[in-house]
Structure formats: C-alpha cells, structure tokens
C-alpha cells in the first residue's frame, strides 16, 4: 500500500504496524530537518492484501471467489492465495463483498454555472465521484483549465481527494469564451502542443468548425492524445459525426448524429423529429464501428433534464444533502421539468437507438455529463451518484449487466488508450478497485452499495468521503459567488 505524507494518511497511519510507524516518525524527523520544502510521495514497502469476498470480471461475466489480491506499490501484483506476510496490511472483506474494477466516467464535468459565471468545482464533486467508485474521470471541457490542472497535481501528490483526473484543458470551439473562430492551423497546433506538454488527458471540442476540428485531431494524434466532441448537425458551419469520423475523431458525445440529422436546424431540433427506425441510422452506426469510434452515450442526463420517471431516477439516497444550504434553496425554486418537450423526445430516441447500436457491435463508454447548472436546472441528480443511474438506464435498454459493467470500466480504459494500466482486475495493472455489497451481474443496482474504493493501493471509505462533501456543493451565497469572480 502506498503511503503518502498528507492529510490523507491520518487514517492509514493508525492502521500501520509499530515498526512501520517508527520508520515513518524517523523519516518525518529527518525530512523536517531538511532545509528545502520536501513533500515526498513515497511508497512504503508495506503490501496490501485484499482477502475474502468475490472478484467480478465484467468482460468475461465471471464472478470468482477472491483467492487474495496482493497490491504492491499501488499495483496489482498477484491474484492468488498469499501466505502470511508479517509486513502486509490485510483488508478483510465480508462474505457478500464483490470487488470490481474502479469506474471510468468519460464525461465528468466539474463545472458549475450560476448567474452566467462558470467555474470548476474541486471541493465536493471529486469526493462524490470517488466515493461512488469512480476512480478515473475525463473532465470533458474545463472552464478553469489552470485550476483543474493544479487540482490534478494535488490529487496525484496525495494532498486532495479525488479520482485520477484525465483533464481536458480548455474547450476547443465556441464553447470556450476565449475561442477565436479565426484561429489558423498554427494557432491550434500551438494550443495543442502547450497542453500536451502539460500532460492533458484528452481534448474536447464543442461548437467547432470543420477545419478547426481537423487541425485539432491531427495535432492531438501527433502527441498520441485522444479527441472527443460535442458535435452538431452541420447547421451553421458545425460538424456532423460522419465528417468528424472521417477526420479521425476517437469518440463522439451525446448523439450518433451524422447525415441522419437535417443540417437545416440545430441538432436538438433535428433529433426531436427523427424516426429511430430510419435506415440512415444503420449507416451511421456502421461508420462508428468500421472506424473503432467510441460513443459517449450520456443517456441519463437527458432523462434527468426532462424529469423522466424511469426507474433509474428513483431516489435511494438524498443527494441534496451535498448541496450548500444556499444551493438547496435554488433547487426548491426551479419549475417542474418539461416531461413532453424536446429533451424528453431526444431521451426517448436515444433509448431506442442505443440498443441497436450495441446489438450491431458499437462501442459505448460510460459518460454522465452532470455539470451543476443553477441558472436553469438539469435535475436534482449529481455527479458520482449519477454513474449508477447511467448504468441502470443502459441495462434497462437491454444491454446485459456484465456488458454494462464493461462499458463502465474496460471500455473507458480502451477509449483513452489506458487499458494496459486500468479497466480490469489483472496482475500488472494499477489497483483501482471498488468494493460493493452483492453481485452486480445479477442486479445492476448493487453498484450503488459501494463502500470502499482502492486507488493506487490507498483505501478510501465511501462514507468518510461523502461526509466531507456534505453541504459543500455549489455556491455558498450570492455575494460569495460574485466576489470570487
């Protein structure tokens, strides 16, 4: 188990054996005597053994008794019975505990919008994600890219709680208020180079022109970085999915789109009028499959936004306890969602199309898309908890539970080119795990019971993280929000 000298280590420290404690104290004394500021992120020689319960392998739909998972320096070193090791910490599980790979949410916004100002939340959202078993996120368009980059560094150093962050850097396209539609190829290459150098996890375009998207994709691929986009219908110099795929895009968000959408109107308006049985969709699906493009389905956000009464939206915890008292009041004032408007129609069409896409062999990733919008409401359902809703919607659409779990784990890793590191429980991969009560292949809702999350060998208690997030999501007051500007 990896031990870090930070606020995170207090609970770990209590659990260490006496010899290790003495070693740590001696080390801290030496470290505190050094002249320069030294915040080490070292790994102790201590191993972690996860003992008992079951291991779930979504990709093979197997659930096997856990022989022991041995974690060394944050990696899964072996999955086999481990003879007693004096130096190891043992995490003993209950008989009904099930160990799964940590979830990967590839459209996990940290952003919140209120009174026309948009910011990224690094206080409550990352804790809510991690507590719910999400060990890796792609932030899908940062509105404060510098802040998110700094936060990612803090998480990596063990100084802040959160999943592994694949930051996106700024939006490419007019979704970024600083975007200049006149950017040349040289401008776009320069921005891509700059963020590639700073270790961005992927790029996201939204409301971008075809020529700019092409430059983004070419340069990102030069750095081996993936690109995704919120595309449109071709209306008003926007890009359709089939065009973006021909440029080499890696993922597409929200809509299969393509030439099935009329380019005379905005995608939302076009989608509302579509017939899911239109043979044009079969062609689009084939284009996705032939080009190995992943689809970030973002089903649930359309359901939540339009006040769907699908079972996935039933309440199992009161998520509003995570809102600040001020933000909670804002929610009380929102009007009832329009259950028969455009968004409700789009949600209905998406549910019909996703099963077709899956049946034909289309690749899907888990993507929630839950910014906290407070100038209008997307529904009182928030980050972290939403991954369980998204999985349930995919299962209700007819995708087998094991495949839904693969979508939420290994597919996300593949889509980001990280499947050699994360996405499944195998020796050699980094220990990103979640532990739940019950078998999710029998009942997808069991994922809601996540109680322990392992990230790089560190053990996180979900209840502890959630307690820290309580009352912290959203602005504290009008004045405070405006003042922080």
| Contacts to Zn ion by CB under 5 A | 369
**What is the 3 state secondary structure string of 205-249?**
EECCCHHHHHHHHHHHHHCCCCEEEECCCCHHHCCCHHHHHHHCC
Closer of 381 and 429 to Zn ion (Cβ): 381
52 Ramachandran zone, left/alpha/beta (phi>0; psi -120 to 50): left
User: C-beta of 207: minimal distance to Zn ion in Å?
Assistant: 12
Q: Which is nearer to Zn ion, 113 or 437 (CB)?
A: 113
> What is the H or E stretch that residue 403 is in?
helix 401-407
Between the alpha carbon of residue 219 and those of residues 142, 213, 240, 293, the distances in Å are 19, 10, 20, 18
What's the closest the beta carbon of residue 299 comes to Zn ion, in angstroms?
13
Rounded to a whole number of angstroms, the minimum distance from the CB of residue 474 to Zn ion is: 18
Report how far residue 297's alpha carbon sits from residue 294's, in angstroms, rounded to the nearest whole number. Answer: 9
Q: Which is nearer to Zn ion, 58 or 371 (CB)?
A: 371
Phi and psi (nearest 5°) for 187? Answer: -65, -45
56 contacts 440 by C-beta, under 8 angstroms: yes
Torsion of CA 385, 388, 389, 392, to 10 degrees: -170
Of the candidates 240, 242, 251, 263, the one whose C-alpha atom is nearest the C-alpha of residue 201 is 251
Q: Which CB, 368 or 409, lies closer to Zn ion?
A: 368
Shortest Å, Cβ 254 to Zn ion: 8
Task: Find out whether 162 and 129 touch, Cβ atoms under 8 Å.
Answer: yes
Looking at beta carbons only, is 369 or 390 nearer to Zn ion? 369
**Nearest distance, CB of residue 301 and Zn ion, angstroms:** 8
Q: Which of residues 82 and 301 has its CB atom nearest to Zn ion in the complex?
A: 301
User: What's the number of CA atoms in the CB half-sphere (13 Å) around residue 46?
Assistant: 25
**How buried is residue 411: exposed, middle or buried, by Cβ count under 10 Å (0-12/13-18/19+)?**
buried
User: Cβ 228 to Zn ion, closest distance in Å?
Assistant: 10
**Least distance to Zn ion, CB of residue 370, Å:** 9
Eight-class DSSP state of 335: P
Nearer of residues 175 and 287 to Zn ion, judged by Cβ: 175
Per the listing, tokens 């968004």 go with 343
Helix (H) or strand (E) holding 149: helix 145-156
Instruction: Please say which residue, 100 or 213, places its beta carbon nearer to Zn ion.
Output: 213
CB of 98 to Zn ion, least distance (A): 31
Nearer to Zn ion, 369 or 403 (CB): 369
Bridge partner residues of 312 (DSSP): none
Cα 189–Cα 193–Cα 199 angle in degrees, nearest 5: 145
CB of 416 to Zn ion, least distance (A): 17
């Amino acid at each position: 188990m990896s031990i870090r000298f930070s606020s995170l280590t207090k609970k770990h420290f209590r659990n260490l054996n006496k010899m290790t404690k003495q070693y740590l104290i001696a080390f801290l004394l030496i470290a505190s005597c050094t002249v320069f500021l030294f915040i080490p992120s070292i790994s102790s020689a201590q191993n972690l053994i996860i003992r008992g319960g079951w291991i779930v392998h979504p990709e093979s739909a197997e659930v096997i008794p856990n022989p022991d998972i041995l974690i060394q320096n944050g990696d899964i070193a072996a999955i086999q019975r481990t003879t007693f090791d004096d130096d190891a910490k043992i995490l003993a599980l209950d008989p009904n505990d099930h160990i799964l790979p940590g979830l990967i949410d590839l459209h996990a916004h940290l952003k919140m919008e209120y009174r026309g100002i948009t910011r990224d939340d690094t206080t409550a959202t990352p804790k809510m994600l991690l507590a719910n078993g999400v060990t890796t996120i792609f932030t899908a368009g940062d509105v404060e890219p510098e802040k998110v980059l700094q936060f990612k560094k803090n998480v990596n150093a063990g100084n802040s709680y959160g999943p592994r962050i694949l930051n996106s850097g700024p939006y490419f396209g007019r979704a970024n208020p600083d975007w200049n539609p006149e950017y040349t190829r040289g401008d776009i290459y320069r921005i891509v180079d700059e963020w590639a150098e700073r270790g961005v996890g992927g790029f996201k375009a939204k409301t971008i022109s075809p020529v700019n998207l092409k430059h983004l994709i070419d340069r990102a691929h030069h750095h081996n970085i993936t690109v995704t986009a919120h595309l449109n219908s071709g209306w008003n110099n926007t890009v359709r999915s089939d065009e973006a795929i021909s440029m080499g895009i890696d993922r597409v968000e929200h809509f299969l789109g393509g030439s099935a959408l009329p380019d005379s109107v905005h995608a939302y308006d076009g989608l509302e009028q579509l017939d899911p049985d239109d043979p044009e969709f079969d062609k689009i699906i084939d284009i996705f499959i032939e080009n190995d493009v992943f689809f970030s389905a973002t089903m649930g956000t359309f359901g939540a936004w339009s006040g769907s009464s699908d079972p996935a939206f039933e309440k199992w915890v009161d998520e509003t306890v995570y809102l600040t008292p001020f933000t909670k009041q804002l929610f009380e004032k929102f009007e009832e969602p329009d259950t028969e408007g455009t968004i409700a129609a789009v949600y209905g069409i998406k549910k019909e199309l996703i099963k077709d896409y899956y049946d034909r062999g289309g690749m899907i990733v888990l993507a929630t898309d839950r910014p906290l919008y407070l100038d209008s409401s997307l529904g009182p359902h928030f980050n972290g908890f939403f991954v369980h809703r998204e999985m349930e919607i995919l299962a209700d659409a007819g995708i087998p539970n094991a495949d839904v779990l693969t979508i939420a784990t290994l597919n996300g890793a593949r889509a980001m080119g990280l499947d050699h590191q994360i996405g499944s429980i195998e020796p050699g991969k980094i220990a990103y795990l979640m532990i739940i009560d019950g078998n999710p292949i029998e009942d997808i809702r069991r994922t809601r019971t996540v109680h322990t999350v392992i990230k790089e060998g560190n053990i996180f208690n979900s209840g502890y993280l959630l307690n820290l997030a309580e009352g912290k999501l959203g602005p504290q007051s009008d004045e405070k929000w405006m003042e922080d500007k």
